[in-house]
Amino acid sequence: MILPRVTLVASLLAATAVCAHETSGQHGGRVTDAGKFHVELVAKGETVDVFLSDEGQKPVAAAGFKGTAILVVGGKPARVPLQPADGNRLTGKAEAALGDSPKGAVQLTGPDGATASGKFN
Closest CA to 53 of 26, 22, 13, 21: 26
Contact 47, 71 (CB under 8 A): no
What element of type H or E holds 15? helix 2-19
Domain contains 11: no
> pLDDT at residue 83 above 60?
yes
Domain contains 102: yes
Q: What is the pLDDT of residue 21?
A: 53
- CATH number for the domain spanning 93: value is 2.60.40
Domain contains 36: yes
Does pTM top 0.85 for this prediction? no
**How many independent structural domains does the chain possess?**
1
State pLDDT tens for residues 17-33.
444 556 778 899 999 99
Residues of the domain holding 29: 22-120
CB atoms within 10 A of CB 47: 14
The full length of the chain comes to 121
State pLDDT tens for residues 52-81.
999 999 999 999 999 999 999 889 999 999
